[in-house]
Structure 1
Amino acid sequence: MALQQYEVDYRILTDAELNAWRKIPPAVASDCMNRTQVMTSSIKPISPGKPICGQARTVTTMVGDCWPICIMISEARAGEVIVVDAGGAVEIAVWGGIMTAEAVYRRLGGAVVHGAIRDITEMREAGFAMYCSAATPKGPHQGFGGVMDGPAAVGGVPVRSGDIVLGDDDGVVVVPLEMAGTVLAAAQAHLAKEEAWVREIKSGAPIPALFKMKTPDTILPALK
């Protein structure tokens, strides 16, 4: 099967824009998108406390094939996040230590793999931000084919090259690039609101009163 690559032309975010996004937790970004755009909960960081924030470069690969990913590692810009649809297969790795060495050398922003990886110890020692579904010693093949920079479905979420990828210990959220300004403003306002809520809680306000929750209905004791 052939390896194909889409021609893409997306707006590259400025350092100031990316710095603003780094302050937005994935959970808040999702809340501001009607609690959508969240990848399946099986995709988690290999290193707790290692957040991820950058623009996506998408790869859809045949199960167990690292070829398209290797090409993308060599082409991606510094800071970009490689987002891989590997079919969710967890018994064969599509990313390993040698690929990580080049990704670190090229200063990529990290990777999200809906599938398996290996050589986790090397990745942790290198400080590489890797999010994945599983790990296995079984290595990949090369040459089956795939698609680079095409629209992808990764962990149940649509992703296109240029979209914003946010990850932390909770998991991964994708913000469509065309919604970036709207979602960022909403997320910043939401964080300010959460800070106000926490201040009120620390002043003694109970959560039910704070959120104006309905009180439970009273049930009379059963007759004996």
Structure 2
Amino acid sequence: MTERGVLLWIHGGGWRARSSEDGAALASLGLRVVAADYRFSHEARWPAQLDDVRAAARAARASAGGRPLLVGGDSAGGTLALHLALRGVDRPGDVTAALAYWAPVDPLDDEQRRRRPSGDDPWADLLGHPPAAGDPATADATVASHLGAGVPVLLVQGRDDVPVPAAQAVELAGRLLAAGHPTHLWLTHGGHALDLARPDLRAVTAAFLDNVLPAARAD
């Protein structure tokens, strides 16, 4: 299949480790999938991870041959993909689209905290301290703090996701739409870390790509 764009894939794992999902299932939709690496939270605090994926995006863009650059990821990687797309690689609006699968987006979500074992908070590890209202680092790590560039966004979320409450995706979708971002939200059955090749996930991703990418071109 002719490549329609380059997808920088950012892996999940709670900013602590690498999840098994590598985004390879999306290659069949006409994307060249390029992996991004970033420092884990025990190696560096926020926003070092954003700096790292920005560097990876610059390398992916340089090798894209003029094709559109999209960014995507699962779970914590989806969070980074949203930050990268909404804030830009070098300036807001310089990424074609974001694809975020079951991404945590709100470090202050009380429901998310209640669902985790006591003392286990990936956000606190990422920031170096517990998230708090009025804290500049917490605000900076909150996805909804960076809306307005108009980048299209796909949000995919399982209704029964335990680590990431589905309400986070629903609320973010509303805020994205209000800020002028073309937004697709797929709220579906299942929990966390769904199979990207599942027919409904594949179909909604394909529909989103058809909306944001030009028709396939020959080299």
Q: So what's the TM-score if we normalise by structure 2?
A: 0.31
Structure number with the higher helix fraction is 2
Q: TM-score scaled by structure 1?
A: 0.31
Greater strand content? 1
Q: Which has the higher contact order (CA 8 A, sep 6+)?
A: 1
